[in-house]
Amino acid sequence: MKIIGIDLGRRTVGIAISDALEMIASPVNTYRIRENDLQGALECVKIVIEEYGVGKIVLGLPKNMNGTIGPQAQYCLEFKKMLEEETKLEVIMVDERMTSIMANNAMLEADLSRNKRKQNVDKIAASIILQSYLDKK
């Protein structure tokens, strides 16, 4: 079964997908949405779910560094409810602290330009979120 990984932001949705054996996460795309447009984000995710035949969703939960739930995490929890209602798929929340920093560092090591890093950070972060889930399985 393929699993989708999501890095949800206020203006972007980074998406990654696993292989059928659930071993490797690969970036798919970064979608731009209107600010705080959860419905627009949901439509992007539904397209990818249909295209790839996804059976499970992993969504990043951006906790504060001290482990508490802040406004961005509440935003993601609201999106989780929408995903479950619309797709009828299991949605697993994964702590995503530091994933954007890890994604940026990986791209810096690959010597990507600032513009390329900005374009790719969300889908790379989604891959890191998904891969962390796959590794723990």
Q: Is the pLDDT of residue 113 over 90?
A: no
Identity of the amino acid at 57: I
Are the C-beta atoms of residues 8 and 103 closer than 8 Å to each other?
no
Mean pLDDT of 55-60: 97
- In whole angstroms, what is the distance from residue 6 CA to residue 124 CA? 10
- In whole angstroms, what is the distance from residue 110 CA to residue 115 CA? 13
Tally the residues of the chain.
137
Q: Classify the C-alpha dihedral 100-102-104-106 as positive or negative.
A: negative
Q: What is the pTM of this model?
A: 0.86
What average pLDDT does the chain have?
Answer: 88
Q: pLDDT tens across 66-108, in order? A: 878 889 899 999 999 999 999 999 999 998 866 666 666 665 6
* Partner residues linked to 31 by β-bridges: 13
**pLDDT value of residue 126:** 93
Q: Is the pLDDT of residue 137 over 80?
A: no
Mean pLDDT of 108-122: 64
Domains of the chain by start residue, with CATH: 2-136 (3.30.420.140)
Q: Where are the alpha helices (DSSP H) in the chain?
A: 38-52, 71-87, 99-109, 114-136
